[in-house]
Amino acid sequence: MRRRVLIAIVLLLAASPASAGGRLRLATTTSTENSGLLGAILPPFEKETGLKVDVISVGTGAALKIGENGDADLVLVHAPALEEAFVESGFGVNRRSVMYNDFIIVGPKSDPAGVRGKEDAAAALAAIAGKPAGFVSRGDNSGTHNKEQELWRDSGVDLVEVKKLLSPAGKEREIEYRAPEGGWYLSIGQGMSAALLMADEKEAYCLADRGTWLAMKEKLDLEVLVEGDGRLFNPYGVIAVNPERYPGINYRGAMALIAWLTSVEGQKMIGEFKIGGEPLFIPAAGK
């Protein structure tokens, strides 16, 4: 009797659709998963190909590391420089642009620093610097904070060296970065929502990712003042893990997903994915 049940279970497992079509491991960033994008665009792909996509959503750096170790079949990330290094070191092949979203500079409607419509994001920050309205910084070493530091570097504003001794999990390391100084620069060490709320209260400026902004803008008196600068773009690329390095991986499945993401149909679905009536990602295949 017991043996018969066992056989039945084995047969059932063997007949399940997942094992019939095979599985595909996609390492990606939290933004694609948390925004609901993957949940919206992957099911049609799975239905068409019979493949089951396992999404591992972590930070960009960690996603690439998973790819390097051969623990994923492909990666979908946003860090062009790291992606190039990933391909050049022989870990990945066939990098394709998929889409981009962007960062924006928001501020009070009265815009006391006069940055509305500026095309140069760094020049806009230079105009905000030192003004009494102020600028709220995440100050938490996040991707958005890194982008902000990059823009300050380009702005020509006087920056001071900040040295910090970090000891995450005991391993001491000193990090250095350059940040503006003054009572107008508010570094709060908190997340995007907290930063936007404080900017709203203080009628100050803030660099935000568009997704969080769209989710919160109903509660805020702020306005998008600067957008569209190339430096504010946040491009996403998809890369298959090199099958010569890791023969066991599902390379054909990875290429099928890459082809589908960059196809007319896949790109259309990405462009049509909206939160509150506004698109979150702009398709960019072939660019």
Partner 1 sequence: MDFVIEGMIGAFRLLVGFDPELLRIVSVSLTVSLTALFFAALAGVPLGLGLALGSFPGKRLAVTVLNTLMGLPTVVVGLLGYSFLSRRGLLGPWRLLYTPYAMMIGQFVLALPIVAALSLAAVSGVSRRAGRAALALGASPRQKNRMILSEARFAVLAAVVAGFGRIFAEIGVSTMLGGNIQGFTRNIPTAIAFETAKGEFALGLALGLVLLAVALGVNLILQFWQGRTR
Q: Which residues contact 151 (CB under 8 A, 6 or more apart)?
A: 121, 122, 125, 207, 231
Cβ(80)–Cβ(52) under 8 Å?
no
Closest to 227 in 3D by CA, of 105, 122, 143: 105
Q: Per CB under 8 A, does 202 bind partner 1?
A: yes
Q: Per CB under 8 A, does 203 bind partner 1?
A: yes
Q: Per CB under 8 A, does 187 bind partner 1?
A: yes
Positions in 211-240 near partner 1 (CB under 8 A): 221
Q: Closest separation between CB of residue 140 and partner 1, Å?
A: 6
Q: Per CB under 8 A, does 164 bind partner 1?
A: yes
Q: Per CB under 8 A, does 277 bind partner 1?
A: no
Cα dihedral: 139, 144, 181, 196 (round 10): -80
Binding range to partner 1, per CB under 8 A, among 57-65, 167-175, 235-243, 249-257: 167-175
Question: Within a 10 A sphere around the Cβ of 85, how many other Cβ atoms?
Answer: 13
Positions in 105-134 near partner 1 (CB under 8 A): none
Q: Which residues contact 154 (CB under 8 A, 6 or more apart)?
A: 122, 231
- Of the pair 47, 219, the CB lying nearest partner 1 is at 219
- Of the pair 2, 163, the CB lying nearest partner 1 is at 163
Q: Closest separation between CB of residue 169 and partner 1, Å?
A: 6
Closest to 238 in 3D by CA, of 218, 214, 216, 255: 255
Q: Which of 56, 58, 194, 224 binds partner 1 (CB under 8 A)?
A: 194
Kindly determine how many residues on this chain lie close enough to bind partner 1 according to the rule CB under 8 A: 25
Binding range to partner 1, per CB under 8 A, among 39-47, 163-171, 231-239, 269-277: 163-171
Q: Closest separation between CB of residue 159 and partner 1, Å?
A: 15
Instruction: Report the C-alpha gap between 162 and 153 in whole angstroms.
Output: 13
Q: How far is CA 83 from CA 45, 123, 246, in A?
A: 24, 28, 18
Q: Per CB under 8 A, does 97 bind partner 1?
A: no
Instruction: Report the C-alpha gap between 20 and 50 in whole angstroms.
Output: 7
In degrees, to the nearest 5, what angle opens at C-alpha 138 toward C-alphas 234 and 121? 45
Q: Per CB under 8 A, does 176 bind partner 1?
A: no
Binding range to partner 1, per CB under 8 A, among 22-30, 87-95, 166-174, 256-264: 166-174
- Of the pair 164, 252, the CB lying nearest partner 1 is at 164
Q: Closest separation between CB of residue 287 and partner 1, Å?
A: 35
Q: Closest separation between CB of residue 203 and partner 1, Å?
A: 7
- Of the pair 123, 216, the CB lying nearest partner 1 is at 216
Instruction: Report the C-alpha gap between 12 and 171 in whole angstroms.
Output: 48
Instruction: Report the C-alpha gap between 16 and 13 in whole angstroms.
Output: 5
The binding site for partner 1 (CB under 8 A) comprises 139-141, 164-172, 183, 186-190, 194, 198, 200-203, 221
